[in-house]
Amino acid sequence: MKAATMHNQRPFGPHLKGFPSGQAPLTRGQVAEQGWQLLRGDLALPLAVLKQSALQHNLRWMRDFCAQRGISLAPHGKTTMSPELWQMQLAAGAWGISFATVFQAAVGARHGVPVLLIANQVIQRAELDALALLHAERPALRSMFLVDATGQVDAIEAWATARRFQGRFEVLLELGIAGQRTGCRTAEEARQIAQRIAASPVLRLAGIECYEGTTATCDHAKDRATVQDLMDRVDAIAREAIAQGWFAHEEIILSAGGSAIFDLVAERLTPDLGMPVRGVLRSGCYLTHDHQRYRRYLCCVGERLSLAETLKPALEVLACVQSCPEPGLALLSMGKRDVGHDLDLPLPIWRSDAKNGSPTAVPAHWRIDALNDQHAYLRYNRSAPKDEWPELGETVASGISHPCTTFDKWRWMPVVDDAYRVVDAVTTWF
């Protein structure tokens, strides 16, 4: 099934939040032809938008980062769940796309993603059924998922027996960190699981995976020590697996990398093991970046690498000042249904009224300190000059923290140029 047959040929229409209610459905190409200008108020707010120039910068930046280190990129597709953005990443040289679930991976495969890295355990019968069906539909597809327990291998083999499954799944052994996410904790566990995978008639051990992102602190010494310890463990089990003949292929995959301290794991993804190694970085948030949490992390990356410039925030949420009920408080037309708030509240960054249409930076005393379902509480200094007060009806754009939990609140996003003219659009498939 081709990607074009996966949805209506005119996927953008008034069923989508922020799309003009009287407008007939449009194709992606037709969206750009409408001449919509957000600073002119052509689309209703709230609206999440992507800055085209920042997207292009980030694609180039990460492509060059990986090329300079001889590693591959399989960015985490769960961040955006956007086929259009995945295709941009693949066109910029990504080896594949990572996912968190079989459902997400199936969306990727049916939109043309050739290599799926499911950076999670697969154990449910329904998910194994779906993955087997996906490969039956697409014989050229390559996928792999994570294993971190012999009990998981037992469950997969029991499913295969019940289903009379004749194929074999590629898997990566996952090493974890105590107190953190999934992954085996000890060297002995890792040896037992690797040996069990190698002996399985249903699985093939393709490599080793780990995830360091939850440990990031922006303390250079602490972060480096944590990553070095983790990657030392990866290196040790990889060498033992080679010596024991547990790997199924000549090329070994070593994969790691969130979006916070990926530069540190990148240093250790292509060790000299006497066999070909494909180091695979999985950073997902790099494409849109953000204005808060990951911006702070990338400042630390820039310090470690002595870079003048790293990634640029590409995702903003525009809202309207819809009420000014008392001095010091304005209510914006966006809330928990529109913008992520799991790590930090939105950060007001610019304002624009319909009279001049030019964005200007918001006063430093503006802040959002609470969200309801449909409202954001914008606080400001009531003693400030009146021209620094929010104006009823004006547009206020906010930066976000952690793009994953803003993307899942939208089924489409306009892509805009630096003058906020709509030049493209993307869909999301959550």
Residue 76's DSSP bridge partners are 98
Q: What is the pLDDT of residue 5?
A: 41
What pTM was computed for the model?
Answer: 0.95
Residue 296: burial class (beta carbons within 10 Å; 0-12, 13-18, 19+):
middle
Q: What is the pLDDT of residue 9?
A: 81
Q: How many CB atoms lie within 10 A of CB 146?
A: 24
Q: What is the mean pLDDT of residues 2-19?
A: 75
Q: What are the residues whose beta carbons fall under 8 Å from the beta carbon of 18, sequence distance 6 or more?
A: 43, 44, 45, 46, 47, 48, 410, 412, 414
- Rounded Cα gap, residues 122 and 155, in angstroms: 10
Q: What is the pLDDT of residue 357?
A: 79
Q: What is the pLDDT of residue 6?
A: 45
Q: What are the residues whose beta carbons fall under 8 Å from the beta carbon of 326, sequence distance 6 or more?
A: none
Tell whether the model's pLDDT for residue 33 goes beyond 50: yes
DSSP reduced 3-state for 208? strand
Assign 4 a pLDDT band (cuts: 50, 70, 90).
Answer: very low
- Rounded Cα gap, residues 254 and 281, in angstroms: 9
Minimal CA–CA distance to 28: which of 11, 42, 43, 44? 11
Assign 2 a pLDDT band (cuts: 50, 70, 90).
Answer: very low
Q: Is 233 in contact with 225 (CB distance < 8 Å)?
A: no
What is the amino acid identity at position 118?
Answer: I
Q: What are 342's two structure tokens? A: 């799991």
Q: Is 254 in contact with 279 (CB distance < 8 Å)?
A: yes
Q: What is the pLDDT of residue 118?
A: 98
Q: What are the residues whose beta carbons fall under 8 Å from the beta carbon of 189, sequence distance 6 or more?
A: none
What is the amino acid identity at position 161?
Answer: T
The pLDDT tens digits of the residues spanning 278-330 come to: 999 999 999 999 999 999 999 999 999 999 999 999 999 999 999 999 999 99
Q: What is the pLDDT of residue 8?
A: 58
What's the mean per-residue pLDDT of the chain?
96
Q: What are 398's two structure tokens? A: 């906010």
- Rounded Cα gap, residues 189 and 241, in angstroms: 13
More confident residue, 227 or 4: 227
Residue 15's DSSP bridge partners are none
Tell whether the model's pLDDT for residue 26 goes beyond 70: yes
The pLDDT tens digits of the residues spanning 363-394 come to: 999 999 999 999 999 999 999 999 999 999 99
Tell whether the model's pLDDT for residue 29 goes beyond 60: yes
Element (H, E) at 332: strand 329-332
Q: Write the CA distances from 69 to 66, 229, 259, 261, 265, integer angstroms.
A: 5, 21, 17, 15, 11
- Rounded Cα gap, residues 177 and 28, in angstroms: 43
CA angle 291, 294, 298 (to 5 degrees): 105
Q: What is the mean pLDDT of residues 155-176?
A: 97
Q: Is 428 in contact with 410 (CB distance < 8 Å)?
A: yes
Q: What is the mean pLDDT of residues 322-339?
A: 98
